[in-house]
Amino acid sequence: MELPPPRERRRKVEIRGKIGVTTDGVILIALGVLIFLDTANIYIFSKSWPLMLIVISVYVLVRSIYNTGGWAIGVVGVIFLAIRNFYPNLDRTASYVLPLLLILLGTYMLFNHFKKR
């Protein structure tokens, strides 16, 4: 079995990287919006959503340990899980701050991705 020429291999890796950055940015924005809607009592997200974030993070990080979006999603999941279970007084404040940080991080990732083009 022959390997494709080096130029073609680099091109495939570049395309895969661009898709990953775009996907990560969109996931972060979507999660931030869902969390914000839950906080505003517009959309009810179950109590187990921090665990869902951690599972998504593990999935993303298994594909690529250097994925910034995967780390960000996991950290947010762990923070919310800890706040809801161990620091209920901080829950209300964190419920507004962290979704906005997710939206900002996702937007930043998308802008950086498209600026490089």
Ranges of each domain in the chain? 12-116
Burial of 56 (0-12, 13-18, 19+ CB in 10 A): middle
pTM above 0.85, yes or no: no
Please give the structure tokens belonging to residue 82: 């800890």
Minimum mean pLDDT range among 17-21, 46-50, 79-83: 17-21
pLDDT > 90 fraction of the chain, expressed in percent and rounded? 0
Each residue of 81-94: pLDDT tens digit?
888 778 777 767 77
